[in-house]
Amino acid sequence: MRAPLVAVAIWLASQGVQAQEVAVTPPAPADAPPPAWSFLATGYWNMPRHEDSYGSGIFAADHGQLHLEARVNYEAMHAQSGFVGWSFSGGETFQYKVTPIVGVVVGSAHGPIAGVEASLAVSKFDYYIEAEYLPGTGTTTPYTYAWSELGFRPVQWLRVGLVAQRTRIYGGDREFQRGGLLQVTVGKVTGGLYWFNPASHDQVVIAVLTLAF
């Protein structure tokens, strides 16, 4: 849903683009080797209007093009998932990154998963999309989850924009959620809010805190 956005942002920041969650660190010398590993730890507090609030989390690790990811309460409540992926990136004026991922989910939802995380950044604007497919396993039905963001960064530390998702993790009949986002970055820490369905009785607010290291 969300942590890969920060990973994409840090990569974009390293390329000199103001997009996603920029890690404000001094630039390394041109001949310095890239870090062996980079990590992101992200926690969320999900607040559906007519349901109990709950926490979820994502931990991601990257080494070159290799991408590893673990999630809790993401595909479903009381579910855990793990992924491995391989990233492809490039561009100058239009910078892109695409990471196909495969993995497995266990717990209340279970089975193999395949998906993709992709981003595009141009100047102060950026777009991110994430989708994954969980095939039916006898006790669950096939399901495609998607999350997308369109962001604008007026200054280095502030990002605002629009967000949408297709999910079944909340109760009710509304699978498609739309709303706005606000993110603030200080050093390697990013805090943010997502507000889905602001004009509806099915409002959902998600508070997020991410640490990059």
Q: What is the pLDDT of residues 130-175, one digit of tens each?
A: 999 987 766 667 889 999 999 999 999 999 999 999 988 876 666 8
| Residue 23 in domain | no
β strands within the chain, DSSP E: 38-48, 54-63, 66-72, 79-86, 88-90, 95-107, 111-122, 125-134, 143-155, 158-166, 176-186, 189-196, 204-212
Measured between alpha carbons, how far is 36 from 43 in angstroms, rounded to an integer?
Answer: 24
Lowest model confidence (mean pLDDT) among 57-61, 76-80, 139-143, 193-197? 139-143
| Residue 131 in domain | yes
pLDDT, one tens digit per residue, over 78-111 is: 999 999 999 999 999 999 999 999 999 998 888 8
Look at residue 135 in the predicted model and tell me its pLDDT: 79
> Two tokens at 134?
């969980």
What is the number of structural domains in the chain?
Answer: 1
> Two tokens at 99?
């990471």
| Residue 3 in domain | no
Measured between alpha carbons, how far is 102 from 123 in angstroms, rounded to an integer?
Answer: 31
| Residue 18 in domain | no
Measured between alpha carbons, how far is 111 from 103 in angstroms, rounded to an integer?
Answer: 9
| Residue 88 in domain | yes
What secondary structure letter does DSSP report for 173?
Answer: S
Coil vs helix vs strand at 13: helix
| Residue 201 in domain | yes
| Residue 9 in domain | no
Tell me the β-bridge partners of 74. Answer: none
CATH code of the domain covering residue 113: 2.40.160.40
From the CB of residue 183, how many other CB atoms can be counted at a distance below 10 Å?
Answer: 24
Beta pairing, strands 111-122 & 125-134: antiparallel
CA neighbor of 108 nearest in space, from 54, 178, 165, 39 = 54
| Residue 28 in domain | no
Coil vs helix vs strand at 12: helix
pTM reported for the whole predicted model:
0.81
Coil vs helix vs strand at 24: coil
Range of 87's domain? 37-212
